[in-house]
Chain A
Amino acid sequence: MARIEIRGLGKTFPTIKGDAVDAISDLSFTVGDNEFVSIVGPSGCGKSTWLSIVAGFIPPTTGTVLIDDRPVTAPGPDRGVVFQEYALFPWRTVADNIAYGLEEKGLARDEVRRIVDAYVRRMGLAGFQSKYPRELSGGMKQRVALARTLAYEPDVLLMDEPFGALDAQTRELQQDELLGIWREKKKTVLFVTHSVEEAVYLSERVVVMTTRPGRIKSVIDVDLDRARHREDVVTSPEFARLRNRVWLDVREEVMKQYDAARDSAR
């Protein structure tokens, strides 16, 4: 149960040359309780910056982020973050990685072990508890990262291209796994991706960003019947229509960026 309210968010980064670049500008958006929202846009549009501000990793230049009406000032365990590069602690085994947030919470050792065991089973990691991250495949690392984040039960999941480094088959399996978890655990999800297909398949709303400085170009409601199997969803005419709609908006921004680059090269 959590609502993310974003009000007039802007972020300016200084450059080496001494001037400043606006990564995002004047962003306002609200993610409702238990809603799944994806952010897509051309590369460099500030979608990861947006997520990092909500996570509390970097402070905004202007505007505020409210989680259930409380302003965000620092990272906190109410918001779980999953990165594309997994960010597992390489010196900890699978079980110890999942246990990390629980240890920080100060839970008793038995309690930690009980929760870790449950997530090991849930995420299909049985038999790998005492492996180190370097011994795992990419898909498995991402499952550990997700388990580590889910284990301490944040209300909000912030995901920065979590499946971007995975091969197509693994990626689809992970997407369905995530949907299952979202339905079961009732999380509010903010999901950054560069895949239009992934955004439409997973989310209830898709936010398309403009080219830099990133603003909201359009918000597209996705009302797909999610009780069906993956194949039935992705082959349905509504899915094709929505994907096309999002894709056209993204393409327009990518073309703008492309034209601007060509003009400045002249």
Chain B
Amino acid sequence: MTARARLVAAVSALAPIAVALATWEAVTRAGVVSTQMLPTFSSVGTAAGDLVVSGVLGHHLLVSLYRALGGLALSIVVGVILGFAMATRRHVESFFDPLVSLLYPLPKTALVPLTMVWLGITNQAAILVVFLAGLLPVVVNTYHGVKRVERVLIWSARSLGTSERRLFTRVVLPASLPYIWNGIRIALPISFIVVISVELVASRVGIGNLINGYGGLGVYDYMFAAIFLFVLVAFVSDRFTVRLGRGLLRWHEEPSGR
């Protein structure tokens, strides 16, 4: 892409957002919607600045990120091991397959009351729910990735001197990495969604708690500011993951026109 084409692409992606925000500002300023119900965009911007500068955002964000990424890390480790075991061992598959099918449609946040009883209002409770929510996409994608590893790759490695025991790290893991990565990409936004949901209900700290607190007090400009800042963080981390995946899976991508 030329610099000019890139600029056009960036402008056309940002234009709808700019239009929406401008409409918001105009509607609230003109008094069409009461600022009691919906604060002006500019006041939300001011509140966001204050949240960042005062360090309030940083404090709560660190807690939320710790819970989201901690839970995600657990789902990746357990999910890859379980997905691999299910794909390679029939009795493991027949044991876990009904459980996975049953758990799949369950909204994991429905378990929050239970985790509160078990673990109280703690980081561990939040991490547990995030972990359960992120686990299934990782398990299912790993399972399919491992099932699709070509037999000739295994055979080649075996005849080139790889022992049965080392096949996992030498062949199966790298060969199924595109699928595993896909599962991680699905689990990442889930972990963000779930951590906020948990914190809305069962937490004394974190972005979800912050949103809930401001909402309860009717301080809507700060509430919106907290939401937007978190959306920004989630967006940036998704972009970062995509970039990382491109580097990691360079060998797998279809050759592009560039």
Q: Which residues of A contact B (CB under 8 A)?
A: 52, 55-57, 74-77, 79-81, 83, 85, 87, 89-93, 100-101, 104-105, 132-135, 148-149, 152
Contacts and interface: CB of A to CB of B under 8 A. Distances in A.
A89 B158 CA distance: 13
Question: Which 4 A-B residue pairings sit nearest by Cβ, starting from the closest?
Answer: A104-B161, A87-B152, A101-B160, A75-B158
B175 A57 contact: no
Contacts of A75: 155, 158-159
Best-buried of A74, A81, A87 by chain B (most CB within 10 Å): A87
Interface string B147-180: 0001011011111111000000001001101000
Contacts of B174: 89, 91
Contacts of B255: 134-135
Contact of B152 (A79, A83, A148): A83
A152 B155 contact: no
Contacts of A52: 155
Contacts of A148: 160
23 contacts: A55-B155, A57-B159, A74-B158, A75-B158, A76-B159, A77-B161, A80-B159, A81-B156, A81-B159, A83-B155, A85-B152, A87-B156, A89-B157, A89-B171, A89-B174, A90-B175, A90-B251, A91-B175, A100-B160, A104-B161, A105-B161, A134-B252, A134-B255
B250 interface: yes
Contact of A134 (B152, B171, B251): B251
B162 A104 contact: yes
Contacts of A135: 255
Q: Chain B contact residues: over half helix, strand or loop, or mixed?
A: helix
Interface residues of B, number: 19
A81 B155 contact: yes
Given A90-B251, A91-B174, A132-B250, A79 B160 contact: no
Given A132-B250, A134-B251, A89 B162 contact: no
Interface of B: 150, 152-153, 155-162, 171, 174-175, 177, 250-252, 255
A17 to B, nearest CB: 21
B250 A152 contact: no
Contact of B153 (A79, A87, A93, A104): A87
A57 B155 contact: yes
Contacts of A149: 160
Given A104-B162, A105-B161, A91 B252 contact: yes
Nearest to B151: A57
Contacts of B159: 55-57, 75-77, 79-81
Contacts of A100: 157, 160
Nearest to A74: B158
Contact of A87 (B150, B162, B250, B251): B150
B156 A132 contact: no
Given A79-B159, A80-B159, 11 more contacts: A81-B156, A85-B150, A87-B156, A89-B153, A89-B175, A91-B175, A91-B252, A93-B251, A101-B161, A134-B251, A134-B255
